C-alpha cells in the first residue's frame, strides 16, 4: 500500500528555529490559579483567614478590655448589615460561576 503522505509534505528534519520560550506567568495569573479561578473559593478563603485572625484576636481583646463591645460597635445594626452584605456577596459570587 502506498504511503498516504507525499514525500514533499514530509518534514526533512528538525525545524531550523528553536521552539518558542514559555510565556512568563504574572503574579495575578498565579494568584487566580491558586484558588482555581473561582471567586467563591477566594471569598471562602478570605472568610477563613479573617475567622482565624478573629479567633486569635478576640481572646486578646477580651483579656485587654471589657467584654462590652459598645465602644467598638456603636450600633448593633452595623453587625446585622455586615451579615446581610456578606451573604449577598457570597451568593453573587456563587451564582456568577454557575453555567447555564
Please, which pLDDT band fits residue 1 given cuts at 50, 70 and 90? low
Domain boundaries, the chain: 7-96
Report the percentage of the chain scoring pLDDT > 70.
68
SS3 state of residue 14: coil
* DSSP state string for 21-77: PPPPPPHHHHHHHHTTT-HHHHHHHHHHHHHHHHHHHHHHHHHHS-S--TTT-S-HH
Convert the pLDDT of each residue in 38-74 to its tens digit.
888 888 888 888 888 877 777 776 665 655 556 667 7
Per-residue pLDDT, 100: 54
d(CA 89, CA 49): 17
Please, which pLDDT band fits residue 97 given cuts at 50, 70 and 90? confident
Instruction: Find which of 74-78, 90-94, 96-100 is predicted with most confidence, using mean pLDDT.
Output: 90-94
Amino acid at each position: 500500500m502506498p504511503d498516504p503522505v507525499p514525500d514533499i509534505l514530509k518534514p526533512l528534519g528538525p525545524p531550523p528555529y528553536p521552539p518558542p520560550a514559555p510565556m512568563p506567568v504574572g503574579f495575578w495569573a498565579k494568584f487566580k490559579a491558586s484558588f482555581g479561578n473561582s471567586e467563591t473559593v477566594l471569598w471562602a478563603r478570605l472568610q477563613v483567614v479573617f475567622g482565624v485572625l478573629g479567633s486569635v484576636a478576640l481572646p486578646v481583646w477580651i483579656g485587654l478590655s471589657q467584654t462590652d463591645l459598645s465602644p467598638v460597635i456603636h450600633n448593633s445594626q452595623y453587625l446585622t448589615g455586615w451579615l446581610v452584605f456578606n451573604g449577598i456577596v457570597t451568593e453573587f459570587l456563587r451564582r456568577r460561576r454557575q453555567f447555564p
